[in-house]
Amino acid sequence: MNIATAGSSLELPPFYHPVYFERLASTNDEAKHRAEEGTPEGLLIVAAEQTQGRGRRGRGWASPPGNLYCSLLLRPRVPPAEAALAGFCAALAIAESVGHFARRPEVRLKWPNDVLVAGAKVSGILLEASSSGGAAVDWLVIGMGVNLANKPEGVGIAVTCLAEHCPAPTATDFLSSLAPNLLAWLERLRAEGFAPVRGAWLAAAQGLGERVQARLPAETINGIFRELDDRGGLIMDLDGGGRRVIQSGEVFFPPADLSGSACC
Ligand code: BTN
């Protein structure tokens, strides 16, 4: 598949049906809208900039020109909890492409699906899905933002962009690398289940076997990050004894993260 983007041409595997915008409120919103209209999976909404980019937990996502903003529509025939495992595929694929351009070993993954370079966040993933009563989701949208030329200021956590580590690739060049990586991981998840994805994710995980703090909606807990369970939950051995599986929340690493009040 080939589409003309701003000044260059994007080559993608045939699974993808890209639609390019110079500006959108949010690529996730556009993908969700088209999902509700019945658009088949493979739709890939790409925007050069977003005016109302959205992050996890109701936060915004600064989206000036120069970075990658895209959302992929999937229609997996699996329940919501299983569909959410695609987020680990997206994080792995982004990490591979970040490593390809930055050529640095310090590309790590932070639960649930952030990518870090030298400890600083370089990308974010926003998963959104809809179910209408059946066992399987109707659709899943994987929204991906990668800081290429720019990084946001004043967000309270360590953030970076590829321009700080290498000549920044264009969004088109980054997406040309990312798209086949993502498709390969999604196909592996579908064919082999979560085990190989989980193994690869854990091999690149930041803080595995170390102390972490998990900030949950109603409490904050501290302990050792031991494992991922087979649903992608983060398994912690708590300081006070006992084991917990975290399904949603934010993870922080000591020492700097534990002293801060902002979260990522
Ligand atoms: C996070 O909070 O870490 C997730 C950020 C996800 C941002 C991407 S940019 C493309 C897509 N469109 C959006 O509005 N959000 C996602």
Nearest atom of ligand 1 to the alpha carbon of 123:
3
% helix, strand, coil for the chain, step of 5: 30, 35, 40
Contacts for 203 with CB less than 8 Å, ≥ 6 apart: none
Q: Is the CB of 113 under 6 A from ligand 1?
A: no
> pLDDT tens-digit profile of 157-198?
999 999 999 999 999 999 999 999 999 999 999 999 999 999
Q: What is the mean pLDDT of the chain?
A: 92
Q: Is the CB of 61 under 6 A from ligand 1?
A: yes
The closest residue, in CA terms, to atom 10 on ligand 1 is 69
Q: Is the CB of 87 under 6 A from ligand 1?
A: no
Q: Is the CB of 28 under 6 A from ligand 1?
A: yes
> pLDDT tens-digit profile of 22-67?
999 999 999 999 999 999 999 999 999 999 999 999 999 999 999 9
Distance 88 CA to ligand 1 centre (A): 15
Contact 83/130 with Cβ under 8 angstroms?
no
**Looking only at Cα atoms, what is the longest distance across the chain?**
57
pLDDT at 263: 33
Residue 139: phi and psi, rounded to 5, are -155, 160
Look at the block and give the residue holding tokens 């088209």.
34
